């Protein structure tokens, strides 16, 4: 009941803000305690989904007979670094941009999307191209094929 009341108060506040053109703030002692239950399913999905994705990745690697050794560990570290590099700059631009969510996303991609994509993509392609010329079989087969995957 308190969660529904909190949602109803938020809807009322947003309507009042639109009608009056003023900033309206509603407060209740109960809001502090029941705020956490508004996004509990989303939070649970994130908290359970991330470890399940990691477990799925490990199971997929074991099913595919991929051994956990120095080479596969380097690939995991590189994949994590590239993923963070792709996301961190765009996320920072999104959080610092003004406006609504779609406006902030458009502004973030306009600001740094092209530079992040081209910078990381060209760096990866150059790194893989160098490995293509390597004479060691493990670099040519493992890194080159995995890098282009």
Judge whether 7 lies within some domain.
no
Most confident of 51-60, 71-80, 120-129, 140-149: 51-60
The model's pLDDT over 66-83, given as tens digits with 9 standing for 90+, comes to 777 777 777 777 778 777
Q: How many domains does the chain have?
A: 1
Tokens 């600001």 — which residue?
111
Q: What kind and span of H or E run contains 99?
A: none
Judge whether 134 lies within some domain.
yes
Which DSSP state fits 38? T
Domain assignment of residue 87, given as a range: 69-149
The model's pLDDT over 96-136, given as tens digits with 9 standing for 90+, comes to 999 999 999 999 999 988 888 888 777 777 777 777 677 77
Judge whether 141 lies within some domain.
yes
Instruction: Enter the pTM of the model.
Output: 0.47
Q: What kind and span of H or E run contains 81?
A: helix 70-96
Judge whether 27 lies within some domain.
no
Instruction: Look at residues 28, 21, 64 and name the one whose alpha carbon lies nearest to residue 10.
Output: 28
How far is it, in rounded angstroms, from Cα 126 to Cα 115?
Answer: 16
């Amino acid at each position: 009941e308190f969660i529904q009341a909190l949602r109803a108060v938020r809807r009322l506040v947003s309507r009042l803000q639109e009608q009056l053109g003023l900033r309206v703030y509603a407060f209740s002692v109960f809001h502090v305690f029941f705020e956490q239950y508004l996004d509990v399913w989303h939070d649970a999905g994130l908290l359970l989904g991330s470890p399940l994705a990691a477990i799925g990745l490990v199971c997929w690697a074991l099913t595919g007979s991929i051994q956990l050794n120095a080479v596969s560990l380097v690939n995991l570290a590189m994949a994590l670094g590239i993923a963070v590099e792709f996301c961190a700059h765009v996320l920072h631009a999104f959080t610092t941009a003004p406006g609504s969510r779609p406006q902030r996303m458009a502004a973030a991609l306009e600001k740094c999307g092209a530079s992040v994509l081209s910078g990381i993509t060209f760096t990866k392609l150059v790194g893989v191209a160098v490995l293509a010329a390597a004479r060691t079989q493990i670099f040519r087969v493992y890194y080159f094929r995995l890098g282009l995957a």
